[in-house]
Amino acid sequence: MVIDTPSLKEHFHVPFTDRFHDTAVTARALGEFVPAVLRSGILSLRGGPAQAGALGRYWFTTAREVEQGNLATPHRLALIDDDGELTYRQLRENSRTLARHLLGLDLDEIRLGVLARNGRGIIYPLAAKGYAGASIYLLNVGSSLEQLTGCIEENGINVLVLDDEFLERLDPAVVEKQDLHVIVGHQSRGHEDHITLRDIVDRPWVTENVSLPALPKHGPIVLMSSGTTGIPKGVMRPEPRLPLVLAGMLKKVPWRADIRVQLHASLFHTWGWSAVNIALAARATIVTHRVFDPEQVLRDIDEHQLEAMVTSPVFLKQILEVPDNEKYDTSHLEFIVSSGHSLNPHLVRHTQERFGPILCNVYGSTELTLASVASAEELAADPTTSGKVAIGTQLKILDDNGREVPTGTVGQIHLRNSTTLTGYTNPGIPVDKVGELVRIGDLGYLDEEGHLRVLGRIDDMIIVGGENVYPGSVDAILDAMPGVADVYSAGVEDDVTFRRIAAWIVREDSARGAALTADDVRDHVRERLAEHSIPRDVHFIDELPRNATGKVMPRFLPDR
């Protein structure tokens, strides 16, 4: 088999300024990157020239991290998931076997879709993508049949790895029309119609004559935005030659080599995808499960003496609500790092009370990855901060006309870095940019000390009687109210003021929750916020409709 490969010049030239033109930001990032990586021990020196060769061939990708882990610590446990345990050597060999299988399909171009929950069913394909030189599309597990069909057709996906629970969402007509190669990932039952990942990795001799490319192509990694209707937007992200933004993470979050980590952030989402690559780069032992269970998380931390937790606020809140959670020994935890949603001060304080002052926060987006990082020390001092702008990221607050606003003034957050999206898979969708800066979609401001203060989504802000109201501020107040288990606030139409706040509340399973009334809710807000922030409507519901990453889906709220 002959595999086309890029030239040596293309592979080893590192164009720092091709897409990242701010010289000062780049120079600072370079100055911080090497010390941060060496200090953490993430870039292993074990393996000698082979390590340098892996970096040259695979850049900073899942394939490189797996390759490094095999060279440095082959017998260390890499993964503990619902299907068992894998060492770094096993993870490497199985990923390469899958890569050879993909190459053996003799496709002009491998366009690999993955619809899988956390575990080897998504990690194998991520690594195999790098080994085979494919493009990969991480599909949202909440996708409907119509959305999955749209993603396959719009992106020309020709190989699909999916957990068997999602087979019912796969239209047989699309499989035939697209000549789609289907591989079943996680299995809950036997399968005769489709080959499985287990079939492939358990029989490496079937493709042992297929050679992996010496210098594989580097197709994009495509993550799907969390749209609730229509075809999700495919966000194209380049594989980084040198991820300068990693310095910003390592400076504020104490990642280190050989750490043991509980990872339940969704791997198909930007935060989970980023975290699993950092963890593999650190030669970590990763513990993860397909379905989030807050008590299982605590059991894992206790049983495996885990030292780090990668989470999101919605999951963190559920962990804190586990009855008698103090019975689990979590004293080995060195840090908890959260991202994916905003952290409110009440949740920060509650987490610090339970686990100590070890909570860090990462702010970013699907399109732009890392914007800012708050260290544990910064959050302990000020639970409202999103941290300072990350090293390697250029961030500005702009007004509606694209002009930079003064310090302390609210505006639209714009940024860019070396992992910013290159575009959408649908060329008809424009990237919302001002110059080279991309709009993240949030409102916020930078204070006098350079801390980023995020107020909420631009589309969420409403004007009540001439006053700006941010639903997130109402959520933060109500989340701390006794009797409230969960809450979501948003703007609704009003005949008098045009817009008013409404709140959807899940009562706590307690006497306080049972006694909670709409007037109690309004009084609680009235005592703490201005009149225009008081909810006009208060809806009590059994649970908030959330997608697979924990975000509330407003269109499914009653009386919206």
Q: Contacts by 151-156 with C-beta closer than 8 Å and gap 24+? A: 151/113, 151/224, 151/231, 151/232, 151/234, 152/113, 152/178, 152/180, 153/177, 153/178, 154/231, 154/234, 154/425, 154/426, 155/111, 155/113, 155/222, 155/234, 155/425, 156/111
Q: Tell me the residue type at 473.
A: S
- List pLDDT tens digits, range 196-229: 999 999 999 999 999 999 889 988 899 987 655 5
Can you tell me the mean pLDDT for 285-313? 96
* Cα–Cα distance measured from residue 365 to residue 445, given in angstroms and rounded to the nearest whole number: 17
- Do residues 163 and 122 make contact, with C-beta atoms less than 8 angstroms apart? no
- Do residues 98 and 181 make contact, with C-beta atoms less than 8 angstroms apart? no
- Pull the structure tokens for residue 388: 């300072």
Domains of the chain plus CATH, in order, are: 47-224 (3.40.50.980), 462-556 (3.30.300.30)
pLDDT at 24: 61
Confidence of residue 461 (pLDDT cuts 50, 70, 90): confident
Better-predicted residue by pLDDT, 120 or 214: 120
Residue 25 pLDDT > 80: no
384 DSSP 8-state letter = T
- Do residues 158 and 111 make contact, with C-beta atoms less than 8 angstroms apart? yes
Residue 6 pLDDT > 80: no
CA 360 to chain centre: 15
- List pLDDT tens digits, range 142-184: 888 999 999 999 999 999 999 999 999 999 999 999 999 999 9
